[in-house]
Structure 1
Amino acid sequence: MCYSAQIRHDYARFVRAYGAVIDIAEFVRLYWDRAQGAKLKIPKAMDAAFADPQTDEERRIAAWIGQYDRGQATLLEQEVFKQRKRLADAERALQRRTTKAATESRRIATAKVEWALGKLADLRRAAVTDEDARIFPGWYAPVIVMEHGRRVVKPMRYQCRLPGKPSSYDRQFPGCYNARRDNLEGFWKGAFGVSHAIVVLNAFYENVSRHRVEGRELGAGEKEENVVLEFRPRPVQDMLVACLWSQWTDPSGKEPALLSFAAITDDPPPEIAAAGHDRCVIPIKPEHIDAWLDPSSSKDLQRMHAILDDRERPYYAHRLAA
């Protein structure tokens, strides 16, 4: 499963490299919803794409991002103040007498102050890092689809909610950010051959058991330990990862519309299997982009499978994620 991924977020590059136009209305809607209090997870790298706004829509988005960041900064500053007071209280208590409660309170307060200060630093940092472009299930990412014969970039949630399903579906099936290839014509039949997309990734991350990474069996009495591996293609390149997507609407009109997607995964190449993981995303070749994005043009599922078979096959170098 693609536990998390590092997205390509430069919209100018989408236009230049992939001939895609930006659905600015969807970006306006997304950022407006967050400005109104919707709890949406948008990576800093997506925000940074609007740091130099050129149009009225982009300027509105930039203003909402600034408003949101100021609100987050205030919450973090309040948390720092609260935890510093808790730390001071614990220190005073420990000067009188060492207790387990005061020692634990000092430990927790110290950790929370450090966490909040780190978040504040990240919030105020202008430069974008690789970590800022990383998404997790439930986060938003720019995704390429075909609309009226054009490649279009839309913001979508990385966890697909298929049409006709209730919003509770997200909790019942939290793994719907991963569309297994061997189930495309089963669970995903409503999207496969109907609504295809591409997300441009530079890397992806997977949860793997440490003993599998080390190529050994668990020792006697040893508990299984999880580590996160980062996989990057070599040579360095953008990966045009095959996805399915959905435009969900609530029949009652009580809940907001949702654009969401899932990455298709398949059996891994040897180097990923050797690292202890059993799934891999599918980067398609550039010459297949239009055929993949517009499956209705052929209505041939075998042709779609052929595109997935004729994939890019880079070598995936891995390391422990930071």
Structure 2
Amino acid sequence: MEKLAFTPRVFSGIKPSGGLTLGNYLGAIKRFVDMQGGEFETIYCVVDMHAITVWQDPEDLRHATREVAAGYLAAGIDPEKSVLFNQSRVSAHAELGWLLNCVARVGWMNRMTQFKDKAGKNAENVSLGLYAYPSLMAADILLYHATHVPVGEDQKQHVELTRDIANKFNHDYKVDFFPETIPVIEGPAMRVMNLRDGTKKMSKSGESDMERVNMTDDADTIAKKFKKAKSDADVLPEEMEGLAGRPDARNLVNIYAGLSNMTGEEVLAVYGGQGWGKFKPDLAELAVEKLAPISSEMKRLMNDPAEIDRIMAKGANKANEIAQPILNKTFEIMGFVR
């Protein structure tokens, strides 16, 4: 079997459902920016087809799709360095998604913990798309022969599924066509937690807006949320081990580390032994410095949706140039008459 040499290529995407939060920024977008212009080709997508696994108001979906694109651009994704588009503009995603549905096994889908979490006791009434979307996610990645996918810890299982699907396809058709994609999980704030409960992930759908920092929040709001964030009664330790059993404290230290490009240990080397009266105002100031310019630029971009659409359309043309030959070869390998 001939071994292919795969171009080092990154693919990742964010679903446009609700607004972007600090969790999206530190766990995904900031890393996307850091990876562009280096050793990888970088392809970043607004995965709007994933959003409709639960019902979406059409106008809300259009707004959210543009807002995610604006978040990418405002944070530093350069459409001249990276391919930036929304998924539904490249029909090859849906086509390869169906082909890979016929490669993936039902047992693999049954092991996906995110489906169980999202469906809960209502599993019989959710859409088939919610059940099968990990197969579409695999198609998103494999459509570009992506070798690396920056993801949060909660998405690692889906990248492992992508590897299973790629390996089964290669084995069944006796080819070396799809790469074994590597999940990239690194950094101190890969899972940003709720500012009011450090045991829960920061969510765009939380009950209180004070639980999260939105990427559209202005400087005053950002500062207020961090100053009022839940901490605890103890001073900061000098080493990360001292944060064991202190989820709120650990979360705030990790956020500071993520925003400052420091490790948690480096943060505690500065603040160890000090109280929250010093740390939280400093964290608020740092967050405003890093996030307020992004918020302002997002608002400017959202005032010109036609420009966002133009950028995504141009990116979709670039994406299609990469995707279509890979899709065509997949059809050929599987025996379709085209």
Q: Please say whether Structure 1 and Structure 2 have the same fold, judged by a TM-score greater than 0.5.
A: no
The higher relative CO (CA closer than 8 Å, separation ≥ 6) is in 2
Structure label with greater radius of gyration: 1
Which has the larger share of helix? 2
